[in-house]
Amino acid sequence: MREDFDIYLASASPRRRELLAQINVRFQLLEVEVSEQPQLNEPARVYVQRLALAKARAGLMHLPAADKSLVLGADTAVVVDDAILGKPEDEVQAKAMLRQLSGRSHQVMSAVAVMCVERKAVKLNVSTVTMRELDEPEIEAYWNSGECRDKAGAYAIQGRAAIFVSALQGSYSGVMGLPLYETALILKEFGINPLK
C-alpha cells in the first residue's frame, strides 16, 4: 500500500470525495467510463452492486498489472415502484421525477465495492426517503436552482431538497451517494481502519 494515500476512488462525484474525507480515508482519483444502462429486467439492488463493481474494475484496469492498490467504486439509485430513476436528461424529465417522488416514500440504494488484483467485495445499503407534497412553483424553483441536474432521482438531500424530506429511514450518507457504515466495514476487510 502506498504511504501517501489509502485507496483509489473510481468516481467523479464530489459528494463521494467529501464523504471519504469525512472519515479520514486518503484517496487518489481515477477517471472511469462505465455504462449506467440497466440490463433487461435487472432488479435495482443487482444494478447498483453491478455498477459499483464495474466502476472499481474499470479503475483497476487503469493501474499497472503488478499494482496491489485498492480501488473503490460506488453507485446510487433512486427507486420508486420498482423503477430506477437515474440522472435526468433534461428539464422535462427532472420535473417528472420530482412529481413522481412528491408526497410519498421511495428507496435509495447505494452500493460500495472495493477491488484489488487478488479479491473484491461489495456491500449494499437501502434507505427509505419520504418527501412531502411538492407544488409546481417549488418544482420550478428547484429546477431553476440547478441542483437537480446530474443527480439520481433529480434531487440532492444534502442541498436545498433537504426541505422536501419529511422522513428518512436508513443512511443519510448512503442517500448522498456513499454509505459510510458499509464503506468503513468493507475497508476494514481490506486492512484500512479510518479511525487510525
Active-site positions? 75
Residue 47 contacts residue 84 (beta carbons within 8 Å): yes
CA distance 156 to 177: 10
Phi and psi angles of residue 21, each rounded to the nearest 5 degrees, phi first: -65, -35
81-114 residues labelled b (16+ CB within 10 A) or e (exposed): eeebbbbbeeeeebbebbebbeeeebbbbbbbbb
Q: What angle do CA 51, 41, 73 make, to 5 degrees?
A: 5
Helices (H), ranges, the chain = 14-22, 44-60, 91-101, 136-145, 172-176, 180-189
One-letter amino acid for residue 134 of the chain: L
